[in-house]
Chain A
Amino acid sequence: MLLLGVLLVDVVRDGIGQLSFDFLTSFSSINAKQAGIEAALTGTIWLMAVCAAFIVPVGVATAIYLEEYADNDRWWNRLIEVNIQNLAAVPSIVYGILGLAFLVRGPLSLGNVVLAGGLTLGLLVLPVVIIAGREAIRAVPASIREGSLALGATKWQTIWRQVLPASIPGIATGVILALSRAIGETAPLIVVGAATFLAFNPSGLDSSFTALPIQIFDWISRPSNDINNYKPLAAGGILVLMILLMAMNSIAIWLRNRYEQKW
Chain B
Amino acid sequence: MADQVTDWRQEQGEQARTGGPLKRRIGTARAPAVEGPAAERKQAGEAIFSLEGVTVTYSGVAAVRNIGFDIAMNEITALIGPSGCGKSTLIRCLNRMNDLIPGAVVEGKVLYHDQDLYAPDVDAVEVRKRIGMVFQKPNPFPKSIYDNIAFGPRVLGMKDDLDGIVERALRRGALWDEAKDRLKSSAFGLSGGQQQRLCIARCLAVEPDVILMDEPCSALDPISTGRIEDLMLELKELYSIVIVTHNMQQAARVSDRTAFFTVELDEGEQQRTGRMVEFDDTDKMFTNPADPRTEAYVTGRVG
| A positions within 8 Å CB-CB of B | 141, 143-154, 157, 161-162, 165-166, 261-263
Question: Provided the pairs A152-B206, A166-B142 are in contact, do residues A161 and B155 lie with their beta carbons within 8 angstroms?
Answer: yes
Most buried by B among A143, A146, A151, A161: A151
Number of interface residues of B (CB under 8 A): 27
Contact A152 B156 (CB under 8 A): yes
Q: How far is the CA of A176 from the CA of B170 in the complex (A)?
A: 40
Q: Which residues of A contact B137 (CB under 8 A)?
A: 143
Q: How far is the CA of A157 from the CA of B203 in the complex (A)?
A: 16
Q: Closest residue of chain B to A262, judged by CB?
A: B188
Q: Is the interface of B mostly helix, strand, loop or mixed?
A: helix
From the candidates A141, A152, A165, name the one contacting B128 in the complex (CB within 8 A): A152
Question: Provided the pairs A146-B135, A151-B151, A152-B206 are in contact, do residues A261 and B142 lie with their beta carbons within 8 angstroms?
Answer: yes
The 13 listed contacts between A and B (C-beta, < 8 Å) are A144-B141, A149-B125, A150-B203, A151-B128, A151-B132, A151-B155, A151-B202, A151-B203, A152-B130, A152-B152, A161-B154, A162-B141, A261-B142
Q: Closest residue of chain A to B99, judged by CB?
A: A149
Contact A146 B151 (CB under 8 A): no
Contact B151 A161 (CB under 8 A): yes
Closest 9 CB pairs of A and B: A152-B129, A143-B139, A151-B152, A150-B133, A153-B155, A147-B139, A152-B128, A157-B155, A154-B125
Q: Which residues of B contact A152 (CB under 8 A)?
A: 125-126, 128-130, 152, 155-156, 206
Q: How far is the CA of A152 from the CA of B152 in the complex (A)?
A: 7
Most buried by B among A147, A149, A154, A161: A147
Q: Closest residue of chain A to B95, judged by CB?
A: A150
User: What's the least CB distance linking A145 to chain B, in Å?
Assistant: 8
B150-167: CB near A (< 8 Å → 1, else 0) gives 011011100000000000
Contact B97 A146 (CB under 8 A): yes
Q: Which residues of A contact B100 (CB under 8 A)?
A: 145-146, 149
Q: How far is the CA of A162 from the CA of B152 in the complex (A)?
A: 11
User: What's the least CB distance linking B129 to chain A, in Å?
Assistant: 3
B227-269: CB near A (< 8 Å → 1, else 0) gives 0000000000000000000000000000000000000000000
Q: Which residues of A contact B135 (CB under 8 A)?
A: 143, 146-147, 150
Most buried by B among A145, A148, A152: A152
- Interface set, chain B 66-102, CB cutoff 8 A to A: 95, 97, 100
| B positions within 8 Å CB-CB of A | 95, 97, 100, 125-126, 128-130, 132-133, 135, 137, 139-143, 151-152, 154-156, 188, 199, 202-203, 206
Q: How far is the CA of A149 from the CA of B130 in the complex (A)?
A: 12
Q: Which residues of B contact A153 (CB under 8 A)?
A: 125, 151-152, 155-156
Q: How far is the CA of A147 from the CA of B135 in the complex (A)?
A: 8
From the candidates A141, A150, A154, A263, name the one contacting B132 in the complex (CB within 8 A): A150
Known contacts A150-B133, A151-B151, A152-B206; 13 additional CB pairs below 8 A are A147-B141, A147-B199, A148-B141, A150-B135, A151-B128, A151-B156, A152-B125, A153-B151, A161-B154, A162-B141, A165-B142, A166-B142, A262-B188
Contact A149 B128 (CB under 8 A): yes
User: What's the least CB distance linking A74 to chain B, in Å?
Assistant: 14
Q: How far is the CA of A141 from the CA of B140 in the complex (A)?
A: 11
Q: How far is the CA of A223 from the CA of B286 in the complex (A)?
A: 96
User: What's the least CB distance linking A243 to chain B, in Å?
Assistant: 34
Q: How far is the CA of A149 from the CA of B202 in the complex (A)?
A: 12
User: What's the least CB distance linking B166 to chain A, in Å?
Assistant: 14
Q: How far is the CA of A59 from the CA of B202 in the complex (A)?
A: 33
Most buried by A among B100, B135, B142, B206: B142
User: What's the least CB distance linking A50 to chain B, in Å?
Assistant: 32
User: What's the least CB distance linking B24 to chain A, in Å?
Assistant: 12
Q: Which residues of A contact B206 (CB under 8 A)?
A: 151-152
Q: Which residues of A contact B154 (CB under 8 A)?
A: 161
